[in-house]
Amino acid sequence: MNAKRIQLLPQVEAEELYSRPVFTEFERWQYFSFTPQELASFSTFRNVKTRLIFALQVGYFRAKQQFFDFKIEDVQDDVEFILNKYFSDIRVYPSHLKGTMHYESMNKQHILILSLFQYNPWSMSIKPIVQEQVAQLLKLYPKVHSAYRQLLIFFENKQIVIPSYRFFQDVFTAGIADEEVRINSILRNIPVNTTKLLNKLNSKSDGITAVNIIRSDQKSFRYTDIRLELDKVKQIQELYDFSQAFIPTLGISNNAIQHYAEIADQYAASRLRRFSRPQQHLHILCFVNNRYQQLMDNLLTSFIYHMKAIKASAKTYASMLQLSQASKFKADLPKLAQFLKWFPQRDLQMSQTEIDECAYQILPKEQFTTLANYFDGKAFDKKSAIWEYYAKSSRKVALYLRPIFTCINWGYYKDEGYLLQLMELLKTYCSDGKVISKLKITDEIGITIPKSMLRHLKRTPDDTDIDPYLFEWFVYLKVEHELSRGRLFCNDSLEYRDIEKDLIDDALVDDVATIANELGYPSIVDYCDVRLDSALATLQQTWNRTLSNIEQNNNTGIKVKTAKDGTEYWHLLYDSKMPLDDKFFNHLPKLDIANIVMFIGDKLGFWDTFAHIRGRYVKRKQPVPLYLTACLISEAFGFGTKNMAEVSDIDFNQLRSTKEDFLRVDTLCSANDIACNFIHSLPLFRKWDLIEDKVLADADGQKFSTLDNTIQSRYSRKYLGKGRGISIYTLIANFVAVNAKNIGLNEYEGHMLYDMIYGNNTDIDINMVTGDNHSLNKLNFVVLDSITVDYVPCIRNVREAAADLCAAEPIENTGLLKINKIVDVELIRSQKREITRVLLSLLIQQNTQSHIIRKLNSHKRYSRLKAALAEYNSVFKSIHILNLIDDMELRKALRTARNRTEAFHQLQSSIRKTYKGVFTGKRVMDNRVSAHATRLVANCIIAYNSIILNAVYEKMLAENVSEVIIKKFIRISPIAWSHTLFTGRYHFKKSETFVDVGAMAKIIEEELKKNFWR
């Protein structure tokens, strides 16, 4: 491949795409199993050699839909397989097993194979169609490798043999140039005033550019930080309004907008200024469009945070006031006792005036009513005390809430409502710059306020007008209430926008069959019909099996006991815990972490995945592996490139430019995917399956402290004491970290699980996923089942969970187990269209899936849809709980999966704690990059260990070792790091990229033979 041509794929991936397939024994059975029609085609050719080459070409074409040039002696294993299967009764001469065929004869075979598979040959007449397709793809996928992969799918769907890699390079080179010309021509139509604003945003002033200020993250919920966010909104408001109307005219996708925004977000302002003017404007417009929505998210999060803080303080104030008043009552009780003793013994000749005088001397007159109310339970009005605190909090409201409220462009789920009137009145008044104390709330205004609230909205009962500060707080309470239920929203936000914006257009539901089949999930078409019937049948069968096994004492994993009152109860038994074994790695020679990363990087070729952020028109398209390794380790350990330059032999400027150009979330994720795919390709990988022929994954979060505050950093006294931090939510499948995501400690892990599974881009097909109780919500069983993944959470208290079991139909005698309800099938079927719409929206990814799942779990707006989904969810949950009760092996598998995740967390923690273990990013994105770098270094260690273990495993197979020994062997965990050196001075330029895996495997083998391999 010409180095000067555009690089569409990493070199390793490009070579894999166009190279002849090399089959395993299983794959030979798969691809060289010919249909009767294909076997009949053999007779077209006269001699054994041509038939043999035809058979090979058919198998290779079935695998890759391409034709390959090869010599028979180069594919001896495939030849031997075909001869044994199809030519065993024919005499084969040595001349048949050499060389190849003449071009014309080969071409005839190609034509016949194309007709068999109903494929079309490549022709230059198709070039205009391909060019048009490339032009459309570049609008949707600005990253060239993504567009190229989509083009390959286009060829597959059209059943056309792909042309040469060079042809694609030429087409994309021309297409990229045309796309830039097209976009630039539109960008030149930007009005002069807007152009000035765009230029000003990226111009240098007083040593710092405006774009640098705008892209800085909100640090905390303090007034100064909120004020800065509001200033940013004000600064880019005009540009955002323009971008909303202008960006659609560019004809680019949301994916493209996000890509251009990320470049502007990550590049230094000085490097942005090197772009052509139109390209500067493109990137900054997309950045402004994206950043404004993030600012709205931050402001709304701040609004909710301070609302909760003020309400919590009000409750504390009321409780303290109640305690204070109670203590005063207790102080007056002796006086009451004295009065009660005096009154029966008083002088009966006393006049009423004298009695009153004596009584009030003992107990003051005003205390009588107070004490009476106290004994009557009416002494303290807690709600009034809370509103008393609200009245004192007008300063906090003015500082933290009012500026945000007036800044937001609110939307409501219906056009009319009394809340809209209240909000409009308050927002209009505050936006005009008037003093809130001057606002007069009288009946003449025509607003509706519940009568029960009127007494709390007045300072004293005698007031005729409502207090403006209390009225303002009352409106904010309603705003927060409606916002949390999804009825109030901000469509300029991502997290708080109308759920209708997250869901696909209702009309697309009519095309569910086409969309679901294209995305590979055809069951969604009949999800509330055929799939529901199947789930209900499975539920009933699981009930029958579970009850039968308990009754017949076949379930040895459950123990029944009798309480003192004679009632029976049960609990589950578990096998003794077997720890994962990694002690054998202690005997290996210690290796520097840099050597391991370099060795794995070279072996897997993941350096090529670190494409330059711009992708084109750059001198250095690929990073220097030495520099990139240093950047990876500095990010993984969390001490940054500056400190790495001080403790290594790499110059700081080289590290800085490498990090800016190549180290991003998407490139790190691609490298992680390659590492995961490599481990998956090892024969040993499937031996780690905990359930036969199924990959069981586990998702869990690990908490880490952060040095610099970001809006994602939150407090957690349980995990971090008085400090702030984040959680790294990781998906582990057979020891491998296939996906990860940074989340705030205030975010619920269960809402992210679908994101983690669906966002898995590795070759590891996850069939089942578990998690702790934090992975549970009201949707996960259903939404994961819709993408053919079994959700099997490791429930902490199964007996407690069994109290909510449902059944498809009544069962007369359920023994120890009880049916809580019968599934409301009609409710589920009545919401078929809306359920289908939700499932399609999750597949198409109109927004981050976690937002949709969170809103459906918490919002009250779609109560019937939510009830239907919860009902459907209960079907799968009941099946799972019954399986947990009935199957000890399942419980054991789930526990082992959880143990593997804990082992990974220990490795991840050891990497981070090499240097303090604190995330030091000043921005949310910085911490994301650091987290994925940590995952990549961890996966490199796991890959290195897996290579060694796999070499031992292949030696076992060659020596026909018994299955008993192999079962013991596969318990050795590749998550081990005792033989890895993390600290010290890093000499990258002297690092050895070669590791003698055979020697390492020999050491492990010797240790195994000392223990159980005999």
pTM value is 0.81
Bridge-partner residues for 981, per DSSP? 592
d(CA 731, CA 196): 47
CB 188, CB 37: distance < 8 Å:
no
Distance CA 621, CA 611 (A): 6
Q: Is the pLDDT of residue 925 over 90?
A: no
Q: How far apart are CA 368 and CA 373, in angstroms?
A: 9
Nearest alpha carbon to residue 444 among 471, 419, 466: 466
Q: What per-residue confidence (pLDDT) applies to 3?
A: 43
pLDDT at 845: 65
Tokens found for residue 17: 């795409």
Within 520-578, residue ranges assigned H as helices are 530-551
Cβ atoms within 10 Å of 779's Cβ, excluding its own: 24
Q: Which of 488, 466, 465 is nearest to 476 (CA)?
A: 488
- Asked whether the CA dihedral 276, 278, 279, 285 is positive or negative, the reply is positive
Q: Is the pLDDT of residue 577 over 90?
A: no
Measured CA to CA, the distance from residue 897 to residue 741 in angstroms comes to 19
Question: In DSSP terms, which residues pair with 57 in a beta bridge?
Answer: none
DSSP state, residue 972: B
- The residues, ordered by sequence, that sit 6+ positions from 650 with a Cβ below 8 Å of its Cβ are 626, 627, 630, 644, 986, 988, 989
Please tell me what DSSP assigns to residue 343. Answer: G
Higher-scoring residue by pLDDT: 371, 962: 962
Instruction: Note whether 709 and 219 are within 8 A (CB).
Output: yes
729 exposed, middle or buried (CB, 10 Å; 0-12, 13-18, 19+)? buried
- Answer for the pair 389, 313: CB distance below 8 angstroms, yes or no: yes
Query: Domain residues of the chain, as ranges?
Result: 11-117, 124-188, 192-309, 409-497, 583-671+932-1012
Residue 958 has phi, psi (to 5 degrees) of -65, -30
- ∠ CA 738-744-746, nearest 5°, is 125
Helix (H, G, I), strand (E, B) or coil at 411: strand
CA distance 773 to 700: 10
Phi, psi angles (nearest 5°) of residue 160: -120, 135
pLDDT tens by residue, 386-421: 999 999 999 999 999 999 999 999 999 888 777 888
* Res. 370: pLDDT tops 80: no
What 3-state DSSP class applies to 669?
Answer: helix
Rounded to whole angstroms, the Cα distance separating 903 from 752 reads: 22
Of all residues in the chain, what percent carry a pLDDT higher than 70? 95
Structure-model confidence comparison of residues 559 and 619, the more confident one:
559
CA distance 79 to 85: 10
| CB 585 within 8 Å of CB 900 | no
pLDDT value, residue 241:
93
β pairing state of 768-770 and 696-705: parallel
Answer yes or no: are the C-beta atoms of 140 and 147 closer than 8 Å: yes
Q: Where are the alpha helices (DSSP H) in 748-862?
A: 753-758, 780-785, 798-801, 825-830, 832-844, 849-858
Residue range 716-751, pLDDT digits in tens: 887 888 888 999 999 999 999 999 999 999 888 999
957 close to 719: Cβ distance less than 8 angstroms: no
Q: What pLDDT, on the 0 to 100 scale, is given for residue 801?
A: 93
What pLDDT sits at residue 676? 94
pLDDT at 443 over 60: no
Supply the pLDDT for residue 802.
Answer: 93
CA 636 to chain centre: 20
User: Which of 19-33, 578-592, 640-654, 737-751 is predicted least confidently?
Assistant: 578-592
b vs e for 561-576, b when ≥16 Cβ sit within 10 Å of the residue's Cβ? Answer: eeeeeeeeebeeeeee
CA dihedral 932, 938, 944, 946 (to 10 degrees): -100
Query: Would the pLDDT of 852 be above 50?
Result: yes
Tokens at 471, concatenated: 């009225």
Which whole-number Å values give the CA distances from 387 to 374, 392, 437, in the listed order? 21, 9, 17
**Pairwise CA distance, residues 410 & 423, whole Å:** 9
| Residues 6+ away with beta carbon under 8 Å from 918 | 638, 704, 705, 706, 707, 912
Please list the residues that pair with 740 across neighbouring strands: 730
- Dist. CA 328–CA 2, nearest whole Å: 90
Give yes or no for residue 1000 having a pLDDT over 60: yes
pLDDT digits (tens, 9 = 90+) for 256-309: 888 888 888 877 777 788 888 898 899 999 999 999 999 999 999 999 999 999
219 within 8 A of 104, measured Cβ to Cβ: no
Question: How does pLDDT run across 611-644, given as a tens digit for each residue?
Answer: 777 655 566 677 888 989 999 999 999 888 888 8
**Average pLDDT of the segment spanning 111-129:** 91
Task: Encode 349-391 in three state secondary structure.
Answer: CCCHHHHHHHHHHHCCHHHHHHHHHHHCCCCCCHHHHHHHHHH
pLDDT tens digits for range 444-490: 455 667 777 777 888 777 777 788 899 899 999 999 999 988 889 99
Distance between first and last Cα of the chain: 51
Say what the pLDDT of residue 440 is: 77
Residue appearing with tokens 């702030």: 724
Cα 402 off chain centre by: 33
Tell me if residue 979 falls in helix, strand or coil: coil
pLDDT value of position 2: 44
Tokens for 1000, please give them.
Answer: 């390492």
* DSSP type of residue 466: B
Q: How far apart are CA 595 and CA 991, in angstroms?
A: 6
* pLDDT level of residue 792 (50, 70, 90 thresholds): very high
Length of the chain: 1014
pLDDT at 379: 63
Q: How far is CA 942 from the centre of its chain?
A: 22
Angle between the 418-431 and 468-484 helix axes, to the nearest 10 degrees?
120
How many contiguous H segments (helices) and E segments (strands) does the chain have?
A: 43, 16
C-alpha span between 406 and 430 (Å, rounded): 7
Query: What is the pLDDT averaged over residues 665-674?
Result: 90
Q: How far is Cα 959 from Cα 940, in angstroms, rounded to an integer?
A: 29
Is 721:745 a contact under the CB 8 Å cutoff? no
pLDDT of residue 833: 94
Going by their DSSP bridges, the two strands 591-592 and 558-562 should be labelled as unpaired
> Which residue in this structure is represented by tokens 């008043």?
325
